[in-house]
Homo-oligomer: A and B are copies of this chain.
Amino acid sequence: MTRQELIGLIRERRSFLCVGLDTDPAKMPEHLRNEKDSVFHFNRAIIDATIDHCVAYKPNLAFYEAQGIEGLRQLKMTMDYLHSLGKPAFTIADAKRGDIGNTSQQYAKAFLDPKGDFNFDAITIAPYMGSDSVQPFTVYEGKWVILLALTSNKGAFDFQLTTDANGTPLYQRVLETSKQWGTEENMMYVVGATKAEMLTDVRHTVPGSFLLVPGVGAQGGSLEEVCRYGLTKDCGLIVNSSRGIIFASHGTDFAERAGEEARKLQQQMAAVL
């Protein structure tokens, strides 16, 4: 999905919501757990209930890998289902990969290749290994690398906020350096919502780039704050909510409640756009 198509989708649905498909079987409604392909059935119901209110889906690979090959098979079923719908959605492999150049090429093939098992639009990448670990993800037409800049967890303070001799924190150096590796058409950044005021500094460095903002809801960030500091004329934001939507209810009404939570966020977003 190109930048123009993504912006068009945001305008059409009046939403910049991403639904995080962090499908932990232990948290799924009990009536589903022992069904065959239960993770896929859960995801499909969530997708059906939320697709009119969101623009993106972000399965975190860890939850599927934790179920072994069986989990990845159900991730593939989920992606096949998303691709089969008449309604477009931007798909993000939240995989946080990154390796030396020839190896990152293999990861890019695994997640972004249209002929591969998954065919995601985007993948999240950790920047620690630098340029050649990131660039192989920028070569697929209409596909995206989403680089970790400032994450929303406690551990973000360990390294991301350490400053160099000029007082520049590492996450800012990541933003500045990585601008040479891609463009606003193929590179986004992860910026956690729990530090919304830092979005001002982020916007100073990457004024036009899309930002993927996790951590609204369960992780404590405020949508209003994120919009105040991060919104651009093209929106420039994809705001993720995972647990707050998909586990809004653990009963038989899980999909209905997920749809309601997504719709609430969509309405707040529509008011801002």
A99 an interface residue at 8 Å Cβ cutoff? yes
Tell me the count of chain A residues lying within 8 A, CB to CB, of chain B.
Answer: 58
Collect the chain B residues with CB atoms within 8 Å of residue A133's CB: 153, 155
Given contacts A99-B60, A103-B62, A165-B163, contact A158 B131 (CB under 8 A): yes
Q: Which of B63, B76, B110, B116 contacts A62 (CB 8 A)?
A: B110
Contact at A159–B127, with CB atoms within 8 Å? yes
Q: Residue of B at shortest CB range from A158?
A: B130
Within the assembled complex, what's the spacing in Å between the Cα atoms of A131 and B132?
Answer: 25
Q: How far is the CB of A39 from chain B (nearest CB, A)?
A: 13
With A and B bound together, what is the CA distance between A22 and B99 in angstroms? 12
Cα of A111 to Cα of B66 in the assembled complex, Å: 8
Q: Do B129 and A127 touch (CB < 8 A)?
A: no
Please give me the residue from chain B that is nearest to A153 by CB atom: B100
Question: Could you tell me if B69 and A117 are in contact, using CB atoms closer than 8 angstroms?
Answer: yes
A72 to chain B, nearest CB (A): 5
Question: Are the C-beta atoms of A106 and B156 separated by less than 8 Å?
Answer: no
Q: Which residues of B contact A118 (CB under 8 A)?
A: 68
Q: Give the nearest-CB partner of A118 in chain B.
A: B68
- Given A63-B106, A159-B174, are A151 and B69 also a contact pair (CB < 8 Å)? no
Q: How far is the CB of A139 from chain B (nearest CB, A)?
A: 14
With a CB–CB cut-off of 8 A, which chain B residues contact A128? 126-128, 148, 151, 159-160
Question: When the two chains form their complex, are residues B154 and A131 in contact, meaning their CB atoms are under 8 A apart?
Answer: yes
Which chain B positions have C-beta within 8 A of A103? Answer: 22, 60, 62-63
Measured in the bound complex, the distance between the Cα atoms of B173 and A177 in whole Å is 20
What residues of chain B lie closer than 8 Å to A63, measured between beta carbons? 103, 106
A24 in the interface (beta carbon within 8 A): yes
Question: Which residue of B68, B73, B107, B167 is within 8 Å of A65 (Cβ)?
Answer: B107
A120 to chain B, nearest CB (A): 12
CB atoms of B159 and A170 under 8 A apart: yes
- Measured in the bound complex, the distance between the Cα atoms of B118 and A201 in whole Å is 43
Complex Cα gap A163–B167 (Å): 11
Contact of A129 among B97, B131, B155, B163 (CB under 8 A): B155
* CA distance in complex: A62, B116 (Å): 13
Contact with B along A104-146 (1 / 0, CB 8 A): 1011011100001110000000111111111000000000000
Considering the complex, give the chain B residue whose CB is closest to the CB of A62. B106
* Contact indicator B156/A130 (Cβ below 8 Å): yes
